[in-house]
Amino acid sequence: MSAQRDMKERNPWHTSGTVALVAIGVMAAVALVAVAVVQNLPPAQKYKYGIVLDAGSSHTTVFVYRWPAEKHNGTGRAEQKHFCDVKGPGISSYAAAPWKAGQTLRDCMRQAEDSIPQNRRAETPLYLGATAGMRLLNMKNSSASEEVFRAVSDTLQTFPFSYQGARILSGQEEGAFGWVTVNYLDDRLKQGLRTTGALDLGGASTQISFVPQRSEGADDSVTFRLYGNDYDLYTHSFLCYGKDQALRLALAHHTQSGAVAIKDPCFHPGYVAKKSYSDLYDSPCVSDRKPGGAPESFQHTGIGNFQQCQDVVRALFNFSQCRSSRCSFNGVYQPPVEGQFRAFSAYYYTMNFFNLTDASVPLDTVKETIARFCATPWQQVKQENPGIRMKYLVEYCFAGVYLITLLTDGYNFTSETYSNIQFVHKIKGSDAGWTLGYMLNLTNMIPAEAPDAPPLPYGGYVSIVTVSVVLLMTLLLLLGCTLRPACSKRLRVI
């Protein structure tokens, strides 16, 4: 007993003291873990928002985008949250009554307002970009174009967003931002992968954009530095070669003699309609071609022949005036198409109608399918497609022939390279088109240089804290053990 008493006197850290020390250490460790978990729980996700109005030639669409508000360097991935197709034609159609252009936007803008939390609306940028329809109106009547913009601006400023103005995009901007959108959604820019080309077909213009191995055309080149990578992009826009204006060009080809009746191979057998010369030639794309002394109207009769229709379409392109090493059409330089392409807008809608969006379908099969459709009597076409608006249904034959001819004769895709084209509407839930790329550029969401490494994520932080606590507890246990003679003796034996 006296020996034990002497040991206690020589070593105040007896068993009870060791237990107390370990208990304090365990409680401190538990408290540290609790604080780490509670204080560093991932917060409820907060988002920022942006709105872009695509004021195209045939219609306007409102897109709402969102992205994480607290991502490192503001590079959170943007995604489409909502879209709304504005009822009625494009804003360029309201030149005679500009105020209507603004009023038509209200329903869709109210939907956009409802899709964004109230506390985020005031900081949400709102952009309107107008494309080829307004480019044509500006060429025809610049004061009318200004009045339309004034009307839509007056309307948009009544909504609780940060309105950034309305402007006409150049054709090159439209093509370039479409390319940015496609490659951003495919995650090719951030990862530095080989990029995908973009093919856009609207109502009044069409764009082709891709990164070639070599390019001679400085006028058609755009240089981007994105995420630390340099891209020399070839992009060209053909005004008046969108689907709707190309149809005007084709009808102008038929009526250049001022005929009172025409037989059109691009429309179905049995189709007959009376059309106005004034309406047909009421566009800068064809206004200078109106024949003198033309009657007020002409009878438009379809005969439905793919090959003859393709001959008419080929006549819309000039292949004889190329001053460069190679051209697409109308004397425009174009390097050889290479790599994969995404085709969207009217490309997708047309090919989706024919059920030909799959890239594995051979080009010859595509042509045969469109040829059979064009040869189908108009009454049968209407009976087999009751849910499609007549305006679109009657033009699908021409649209299909035009699209294939533009790709093959115009842009020089072959039977082999045609299989590199994928017809798409959305990519990972967001519409393919120029609007997302436009917003990303204006909000500086794609940095020129690759972002620095992000801070340690929440999971990694908690893991490190947990490992540290385990090590601390182990050290405390070892310390307590070394201060106990019996334990120390066992450790020495070991």
3-state DSSP assignment of residue 120: helix
Residue 298: how many other CB atoms lie within 10 Å: 21
> Pick from 110, 98, 93, 95: which is nearest to 156 by CA?
110
Say if residues 199 and 162 touch (Cβ distance below 8 Å): no
Residue 475, both tokens = 């050290």
Say if residues 406 and 343 touch (Cβ distance below 8 Å): no
User: Residue 66: beta bridge partners?
Assistant: 49, 79
3-state DSSP assignment of residue 35: helix
Give the integer Cα–Cα distance in Å for 157 and 489. 83
Give the integer Cα–Cα distance in Å for 262 and 272. 10
174 catalytic? Reply is yes
Pairing of strands 229-239, 205-210: antiparallel
316 phi and psi, to 5 degrees? -80, -15
3-state DSSP assignment of residue 475: helix
Say if residues 101 and 151 touch (Cβ distance below 8 Å): yes
Catalytic residue among 174, 338, 368, 384: 174
Which residues participate in catalysis according to the annotation? 174
